[in-house]
């Protein structure tokens, strides 16, 4: 059974995700990613391979990081332990010091009992499926077992955070002076570095959700629980709020009125700003099939093409790399700015969003008005045969709904990749229309595809 999911290896810490598995996974990673011409050249020059290891602050990250570091060092890899830092910081640092690869121990937006192991290749890029499969196969194969002075060393990466902050600040087109920002760090990996960076960029900063105790990550705060941030922004009369998730690879925002500005709206703002500055490669934005119809319309009005991918930031990144595009992301707040990052970076996204407010002297609500958000209704139809989602009666029902909606709506049917369910999503000019069409289609799916 495969151990890699859509974003690394994830599970209940000390349940399915044990110290033994973490150690074996690290040893297998050393075997697979320690191969190739670059690795051979380094060894020929008398240099050992290096890896960056970091984690979010959940309590299980301590023993899992220790196991990962032990597995790497026992395989002859020198480990640079960066401590608690966001996932995108880990990816950046791998490239910055030209490490062979890196490991992030985090379960992102999941609750504290869970954890995960994300592996990045040289350059800080995510692994393709084929490499993950090779690592899985290597878990049960012979390991590297150097002895004496050939074993790896584990060192504290003393200036890891400073390097990342300098990188973020250097990416900004202008400072944030005059802006009051409320940051919700989800009691996660951004709790130290995000407030520091926004303050260094010139913003007045108020912080919530930045007291991690190892057990409270994502608990009632962060990008999955925006209520506390909305209330604090309104109470303080702040200009905006920025919400991270546990490992800070995503960003959602709140305007001065407490209204949520999601990933689609953030991408719309950044895309137009980047096009104006000549930084939007091929005048193209990459988004998933779940992005709102309003995003497509707004981009068309500004002469920007939208390329669609399957749901998942890895698919967005793949398409960006294939086409040489500079901006892409998801409605959930994973935004990738490839000029500055190899993965979604919630700090980078939030900083650039705030910078655009400062540059134009406009409120976030004004900037977000570039895009009309169409009501979107999602219905999960359970206990159905997802393999028959192309049933002719279901397909005809979709065609009929699309005909009625015309240019004012959109229909999407998606079979779950892991469960016996089909997701029905409908966008329309009104909530009532979207709900009516979604419920009608869900009824057809439930009847035709019943198990």
184: CATH: 3.40.120.10
In a domain, 3, yes or no: no
Is residue 108 among the annotated active site residues?
yes
The domain in which residue 305 lies consists of: 163-368
For the stretch 211-248, what's the b/e string if a residue is b when 16 or more beta carbons lie within 10 angstroms of its beta carbon?
A: ebeeebbbeebbbbbbebbbebbbeeebbbbbbbbbbb
pLDDT in tens, 83-138: 999 999 999 999 999 999 999 999 999 999 999 999 999 999 999 889 999 999 99
Q: What are phi and psi of 416, to 5 degrees?
A: -65, 145
What's the pLDDT at 291? 94
Q: Which residue ranges of the chain lie beneath pLDDT 70? A: 1, 36-46, 418
What's the pLDDT at 5? 85
What's the pLDDT at 379? 95
What is the CATH number for 392? 3.30.310.50
Final residue of a domain: which of 368, 391, 424? 368
Final residue of a domain: which of 346, 368, 390? 368
Residue 156 three-state SS: strand
In sequence order, what are the residues at sequence separation of 6 or more whose Cβ sits closer than 8 angstroms to the Cβ of residue 28? 135, 136, 138, 139, 141, 143
Final residue of a domain: which of 105, 136, 158? 158
What's the pLDDT at 41? 63
What's the pLDDT at 313? 86
400 is in an annotated binding site: no
Instruction: Tell how strand 78-84 and strand 154-156 pair up.
Output: parallel
In a domain, 1, yes or no: no
pTM of the predicted structure, to 2 decimals: 0.92
* Distance (Å, whole) CA 351 – CA 355: 6
What's the pLDDT at 50? 97
Catalytic residue among 74, 75, 108, 332: 108
395 is in an annotated binding site: no
107 half-sphere exposure, CB direction, 13 A CA radius = 21
Q: What percent of the chain has pLDDT over 90?
A: 89
Q: Total domain count for the chain?
A: 3
108 is in an annotated binding site: yes
What's the pLDDT at 108? 94
247 is in an annotated binding site: yes
What's the pLDDT at 36? 67
């Amino acid at each position: 059974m495969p151990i890699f999911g859509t974003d690394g290896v994830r599970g209940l810490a000390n349940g399915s995700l044990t110290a033994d598995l973490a150690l074996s996974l690290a040893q297998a990673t050393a075997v697979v990613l320690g191969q190739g011409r670059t690795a051979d050249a380094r060894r020929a020059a008398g240099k050992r391979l290096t890896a960056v290891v970091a984690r979010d602050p959940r309590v299980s990250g301590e023993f899992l990081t220790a196991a990962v570091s032990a597995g790497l060092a026992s395989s002859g890899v020198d480990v640079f332990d960066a401590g608690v830092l966001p996932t995108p910081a880990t990816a950046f640092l791998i490239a910055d010091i030209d490490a062979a690869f890196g490991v992030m121990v985090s379960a992102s937006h999941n609750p504290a009992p869970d954890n995960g192991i994300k592996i990045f290749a040289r350059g800080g890029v995510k692994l393709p499926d084929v490499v993950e499969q090779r690592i899985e196969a290597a878990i049960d194969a012979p390991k590297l077992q150097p002895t004496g002075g050939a074993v790896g060393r584990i060192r504290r990466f003393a200036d890891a955070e400073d390097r990342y902050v300098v990188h973020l600040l250097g990416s900004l087109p202008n400072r944030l002076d005059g802006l009051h920002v409320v940051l919700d760090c989800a009691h996660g990996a951004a709790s130290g570095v995000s407030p520091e960076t926004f303050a260094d960029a010139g913003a007045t900063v108020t912080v919530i959700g930045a007291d991690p105790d190892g057990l409270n990550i994502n608990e009632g705060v962060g990008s999955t629980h925006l209520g506390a941030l909305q209330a604090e922004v309104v109470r303080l009369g702040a200009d905006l709020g920025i919400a991270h998730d546990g490992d800070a690879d995503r960003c959602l925002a709140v305007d001065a009125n407490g209204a949520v500005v999601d990933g689609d709206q953030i991408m719309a703002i950044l895309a137009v700003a980047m096009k104006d500055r000549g930084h939007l490669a091929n005048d193209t934005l990459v988004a998933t099939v779940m992005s709102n119809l309003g995003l497509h319309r707004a981009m068309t009005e500004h002469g920007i093409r939208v390329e669609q991918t399957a749901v998942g930031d890895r698919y967005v990144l793949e398409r960006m790399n294939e086409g040489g595009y500079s901006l892409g992301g998801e409605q959930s707040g994973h935004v990738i700015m490839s000029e500055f990052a190899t993965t979604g970076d919630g700090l980078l996204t939030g900083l650039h969003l705030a910078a655009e407010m400062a540059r134009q002297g406009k409120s976030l609500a004004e900037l977000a008005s570039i895009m009309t958000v169409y009501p979107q209704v999602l219905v999960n139809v359970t206990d159905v045969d997802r393999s028959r989602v192309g049933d002719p009666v279901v397909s005809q029902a979709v065609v009929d709904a699309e005909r009625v909606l015309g240019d004012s709506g959109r229909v999407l049917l998606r079979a779950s990749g892991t469960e016996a369910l089909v997701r029905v999503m409908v966008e329309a000019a009104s909530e009532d229309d979207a709900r009516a069409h979604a419920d009608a289609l869900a009824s057809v799916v439930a009847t035709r595809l019943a198990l």
